[in-house]
Amino acid sequence: MDKLLWDEAVNFHGHECPGLAIGFKAAEAAIKKLGINFSEDEEIVCVTENDACGVDAIQYILSCTFGKGNLLYKDTGKHAFSFFNRSTNESIRIVLKPFEKEMDREKRQELILNSNIEDIFEFKKPKFKLPEKARIFNTIKCEVCNEGAPEHKIRLMDGKKVCLDCFEDYTRKL
């Protein structure tokens, strides 16, 4: 384990925890399995299936961020991360294996950090394609709140262009 990199990830996240250790080891696994490194732009894409602490390690180590458009959130709640390398078209889905026994946070963190990646993760192919690169959309002014929103997030309601916050959804589904 790269202790200096771990300390930097902890500093970025704000504290040590097992969740951060999961993301740290997932980034380590992605680097090893795909031969990737720090993403200057969108050449490396991560689809995270959780919004837990480990995502901060992915952001810090691989520079996959929401702002650049190369960190995407798929809400399954699983400790799973799919990585895509745009340069080579390679991809991998890294899934945390369930732990066999209960242990306190400190012991769990140490176990994760000191384990071989093959012992704590399953490696699979993602079941979805590489997401397209981030796009820039025109801004439309909501006719209710007057705030700007990207055109693909605008809805029509009572003949007005409205943002998702102002849109009142209608359904008769039971």
Parallel, antiparallel or unpaired: strands 121-124 and 80-85: unpaired
Same domain for 120 and 141? Answer: no
| pLDDT the model gives residue 108 | 93
Q: Does the residue 53 lie in any domain?
A: yes
Domain span holding position 111: 3-124
If you average pLDDT over every residue of the chain, what do you get? Answer: 94
- Same domain? For 84 and 109 the reply is yes
pLDDT recorded at residue 38: 82
Pairwise CA distance, residues 24 & 7, whole Å:
11
- Do residues 106 and 153 both lie within one domain? no
CATH number where 56 lies: 3.30.1330.130
111 part of a folded domain: yes
The reply to whether 67 and 101 lie within a common domain is: yes
Distance CA 100, CA 105 (A): 15
Q: Which two tokens stand for residue 96?
A: 């945390």
| Residues 119, 158 within the same domain | no
> Does the reported pTM lie above 0.95?
no
Residue 24 counted as domain residue:
yes
Q: Write down the H helix ranges in the chain.
A: 3-13, 18-34, 54-62, 105-114, 117-120
- Tell me, yes or no, whether 30 and 67 share the same domain: yes
Is there a single domain that holds both residue 9 and residue 92?
Answer: yes
- Res 42: pLDDT: 86
Domain stop point among 104, 124, 144: 124
Output the pLDDT for position 103. 87
Task: Say yes or no: 30 and 70 in one domain.
Answer: yes
Task: Identify whether residues 33 and 101 lie together within a single domain.
Answer: yes
Residue type, 29: A
Looking at the domain assignment, is residue 96 inside a domain?
Answer: yes
User: What is the number of domains present in the chain?
Assistant: 2
pLDDT score, position 159: 95
Q: What percent of the chain has pLDDT over 90?
A: 84
What percentage of the chain reaches a pLDDT higher than 70? 100
Neighbours of 56 (CB within 10 A): 19
pLDDT surpasses 80 at 174: no
| Cβ count within 10 A of residue 20 | 26
Evaluate whether residue 130 is within a structural domain.
no
Backbone angles phi, psi at 110, to 5 degrees: -65, -40
According to DSSP, the residues that pair with 155 across neighbouring strands are: 162
For residues 109 and 144, membership in a common domain is answered with: no
What per-residue confidence (pLDDT) applies to 101? 82
Residue 157 pLDDT: 95
Instruction: Give, in order, the Cα–Cα distances in Å from 164 to each of 67, 70, 75, 156.
Output: 20, 23, 19, 10
Residue 131 forms part of a structural domain:
no
55 and 114 both lie in a single domain = yes
Helix axes 3-13, 54-62, angle to 10 degrees: 120
More confident residue, 172 or 112: 112
For residues 110 and 168, membership in a common domain is answered with no
Longest Cα–Cα distance in the chain: 59
Residue range 122-172, pLDDT digits in tens? 999 999 888 788 888 999 999 999 999 999 999 999 999 999 999 998 888
pLDDT tens across 17-44, in order? Answer: 999 999 999 999 999 999 998 888 889 9
